[in-house]
Amino acid sequence: MSIYRFGAGLAVVALVSTGAFAQPPGGGFGMMRGNQPLTLATVPAEALGTELKLSPEVQKQIAAIQKKVQDKMQAAMQELRDSGGAGPEAFQELQKKNQENSKKAETEILALLTDDQKKALPEVLKALQLLRTVGIPVQLSSALMLTDVQKKSLAEVAAAVQKDREAKMKEMQEARQNQDQDKMRELMQAMRGNGGVNPKALAILTAEQKAMVEKYIKDHPQPQGRRGGN
């Protein structure tokens, strides 16, 4: 296998971790999804609608904008995959293009929000990012009714998870520079995770909250390879 071809897998990981390449907005849990910073272009419209009390029409418009940019990103990534021998310059160009599309989508979505909703947005994204980092579906943010103590504990778990991910990304870059494909495979598998919510985060929840999370995940199965948390 060509190091450039295998490097395409690393590029996917890198782009996801920076938020330049987003998983479908309909999700909200999973190791790889947890890597990406939540933005207006990637936060599930359903969760945003609940937290900001959006009208059904506005929520529908946001979902349409997100799908449009997502389709563009997926098409660009597929084109890169199909090219096989693309080098670092192609990855950088893809990242730049995806960031531009994402920013355009965010501008369009912001135009749909009221001033009060815009003011509330930073804290909403922060709260949802916390859940996503530990693999808890962001759509359950309000329904879980987390206490301040639980939020603090989850934040500590999330910080540890993020630190571990950053370390793995650094190892990944070093492995690529050394053309160590076995190490790259090992790290990519570790970053994808093996399914489920972070166990330390799950332990913070009450029995009722755990049941809600487990039911949501069961009712919303994710494609193979897109779930997982450590």
Q: Can you give the pLDDT at residue 196?
A: 72
DSSP H helices in the chain: 3-18, 31-35, 45-52, 56-83, 88-110, 115-133, 141-144, 148-177, 181-192, 199-204, 207-219
Residue 72's contacts (CB-CB under 8 Å, 6 or more residues apart) are 98, 101
| Dihedral (CA of 31, 118, 72, 18) sign | negative
Is the whole model's pTM more than 0.85, yes or no?
Answer: no
- Express each pLDDT in 128-173 by its tens digit: 999 999 999 999 999 999 999 999 999 999 999 989 888 888 888 8
Domain definitions of the chain by residue range: 3-219
What pLDDT sits at residue 129?
94
User: Alpha-carbon Rg of the chain, whole angstroms?
Assistant: 18
Higher-pLDDT residue of 118, 193:
118
Tokens of 135: 């693999």
User: Which DSSP category does 138 fall into?
Assistant: G
How many C-beta neighbours within 10 Å does residue 54 have? 20
Query: 2-14 pLDDT, tens per residue?
Result: 444 444 555 554 4
Q: Which residue has the tokens 């994204």?
A: 125
What are the CA-CA distances from residue 161 to residues 119, 185, 204 (Å)? Answer: 28, 20, 15
